[in-house]
Homo-oligomer: A and B are copies of this chain.
Amino acid sequence: MKSDIVIIGGGPAGIITALTAKSVYPDKSVCVIKEIGDGVIPCAIPYMMKTINDPKLNIMANKPLEDAGIDIMVGKVESFDINNHRVIFSGGDFLSYEKAVLATGTDAVIPPIQGVNLPGVYTIEKSLAFLTALRGKVKRARNVVIIGGGFIGAEFADELSRFTSINVHLIEAMPKLLYNAFDNEFCVDAAQILTLQGVNIHTNCRVSSIDGDSSVSSVTLENGEKIPANLVLVSNGARPSIELAQKAGLRIAENNSIWVDEYMRTSVDDIFAVGDCALKRDFFTRKAVPVWLASTATAEARNAGTNIYGIRVIHQIRGTVAAFSTKIGNLSLASAGMTCRSCQNEGFREVSATAKAPDRHPGIIPGASMMTVKLIFADRSGIILGGQVSGGSSVGEMINVIALAIQKKVTVREIDMMQVATHPLLTSAPTVHPLVNAAHLALAKLRLTARA
């Protein structure tokens, strides 16, 4: 068996690599090998518990691949035969390739906590069967403990708090929820909403053991507190899935992801890696960073798919801008680039400013909510380093204005003079536009900094 392009992994990175490669090289045969036959749209997994009426509605459809004439196989690749350009399946079957792409994603990190293997303790698997079963268990649960208050943990807590029958506890080792993506004031707003929705939040807090006999019955924290639990979700982070790459002798980067160059090429000819399994470099520091986002993965996939038979499009993006968005209760929150906290940790001298305005004008227009925009700039060059936004749903696209600004190295003066489209029923007023105003306020601070 042979396929010109073989892609290992059926998540967003694999799918978009396949679709891009097929559109750029229509004469090549492309095959996607999926380990999970019933994979789901990963970002929407928390919402499969309640918001989405039927878990099946969140299936990752094969149709776009089929429509493009891409083959799909379900199976597990065990190893590479690099000399013969083959991938080998568990049964010993093989598939020859001209180009192979690893899009193996991440595996959940299972913390070394006593009792983590008890029945009733789950890490999130990305299959429909698992999540349908989990939905059933959640519905019947009375006390749920979520370990890890990053995006997945916070989103699960939000979703589960909509069941009035469930007590939800959320445990986070860091000082705040969503600590890696947001500065404190945004973290605090998110936590406040979850608290109002009845979630019990424990920050600066670690789990010392998960307890129970035949199944989980409680979780004990390091501070001694014992929380009743008949269901525990572990959302404690993930690590790149690199076993296959390691076995094949591919170079592994310092943070245990698959090393890739600017064009997603691994250290072995004709093997590429894209998405969460591949090395991510930070846009500003170029350090290896653990930013695993479908949006970053698909950008890499378009890069790899386009350039797979020779580099035709010079890649101009220096690394991941870490553009996140989420919604907690009715508050949408988004972040791109550096936070003030990461600036301080990485030694960037930043100036930031925050502006608020209703996201409709006048602010009494039905459906209006307050939008907050924080922008962060380098204190001498004035180039944008990052931004954070909270408010109504349009936050989801407002952050993409900021994400593009970062990718284009826009300066504070350019945002201060930016022409924005506005409309009473859709946006803030042009006179108080929080994106422009945040830049304007930052400029005033930059002048003071320059004098100092």
Q: A residues bordering B, Cβ < 8 Å?
A: 12, 15-16, 20, 23, 41, 43-44, 47, 51-53, 57-58, 64, 293-299, 302-303, 306, 313, 315-317, 320-321, 323-327, 332, 334, 336, 361-362, 364-367, 392-401, 403-405, 407-408, 410, 413-414, 416-427, 429-433, 435-436, 440, 444
Copies per assembly: 2
B396 lies within 8 A of A404 (CB): no
Report Cα–Cα, A5/B106, bound state, in Å: 61
Q: Is the CB of A321 within 8 A of B419?
A: yes
- Nearest Cβ on chain B to A421's Cβ, whole angstroms: 4
> Could you tell me the distance between the alpha carbons of A407 and B12 in the complex, rounded to whole angstroms?
31
- Complex: A330 Cα to B368 Cα, angstroms: 15
Contacts of A327 in B (CB 8 A): 423, 425-426
* Chain B residues whose C-beta falls within 8 Å of the C-beta of A417 in the assembled complex: 299, 302-303, 313, 315-317
Assuming the A-B contacts A396-B394, A419-B407, are A51 and B365 also in contact, with contact meaning beta carbons closer than 8 angstroms in the complex? yes
Q: Is the CB of B52 within 8 A of A362?
A: yes
Inter-chain contacts of A306 with B (CB < 8 A) = 416
Distance of A279 from chain B, by nearest CB (Å): 16
Between A and B, 29 residue pairs with Cβ closer than 8 Å are A16-B431, A23-B440, A23-B444, A41-B424, A43-B424, A44-B424, A51-B365, A293-B430, A295-B421, A299-B418, A299-B420, A302-B440, A316-B413, A323-B420, A325-B422, A327-B425, A327-B426, A332-B423, A332-B426, A392-B393, A394-B397, A396-B397, A397-B397, A397-B400, A397-B401, A397-B426, A403-B421, A404-B405, A407-B419
Instruction: Pick the residue among B320, B392, B395 that contacts A419 (CB under 8 A).
Output: B320
Selected from B302, B398, B399, B429, the residue in CB contact (under 8 A) with A41 is B429
Interface pair A400/B424, CB less than 8 Å apart: no
Question: What residue in chain B is nearest A58 (Cβ atoms)?
Answer: B362
CB distance from A190 to the nearest CB of B (A): 13
Contact partner of A408 (CB less than 8 A), chosen from B334, B408, B444, is B408
Contact B404 A365 (CB under 8 A): no
Output the nearest chain B residue to A16 by Cβ-Cβ distance: B431
| Chain B min CB distance to A391 (Å) | 10
Q: Determine how close the nearest CB of chain B comes to the CB of A400; give it in whole angstroms.
A: 5
| A20 / chain B contacts, CB cutoff of 8 Å | 440
CA distance A323 to B430 in the complex (A): 12
Residues from chain B with a CB closer than 8 A to the CB of A51 are 365-366, 425
CB distance from A143 to the nearest CB of B (A): 26
Please give me the residue from chain B that is nearest to A19 by CB atom: B431
> Is the pair A404, B403 in contact by a Cβ cutoff of 8 Å?
no
Asked if A294 and B408 sit within 8 Å, CB to CB, the answer is: no
B52 to A12, Cβ gap below 8 A? no
